[in-house]
Amino acid sequence: QTLSGLEITLTVAHWTGDGLLLEWTIANRSGRVFNMAYLNDIFSLGSAAVDQDGNEGEYFIPSPFERSLQIGETMPYETRWIFYPESRTITVRLRDLREPASGTSFDTVAEFRFSR
């Protein structure tokens, strides 16, 4: 999926009981440095996951990004959720909602769906 010039790939979904660990690869193909504040917004404020019944998972806010993502750089990242035992199909949404200094705003979503 592409979100604001970032290529975001869900590489591993690992279940341990009702806990879900997701491993991501984030590649900056935007042609500009991607500010760490935007990365933190996407993966903390803009992140949500629901199961097939619309039950939202309990999200453990991941470690914040400590530096910006440079042009052409790729980095791994992890997120974690807790779901119900009956949760079988999960949809993860990463949302980028911004109002850049230019005054134009946008709201884009990347969605990832997978089964247990």
Q: Would you state the pLDDT for residue 86?
A: 94
* 76 CB neighbour count, 10 Å cutoff: 10
Mark the ranges of the chain whose per-residue pLDDT is less than 50: none
Radius of gyration of the chain (CA): 15
The size of the chain, in residues, is 116
What's the pLDDT score for residue 101? 59
| CA-CA-CA-CA torsion sign (52, 56, 58, 64) | positive
> What local confidence, expressed as pLDDT, does residue 111 receive?
94
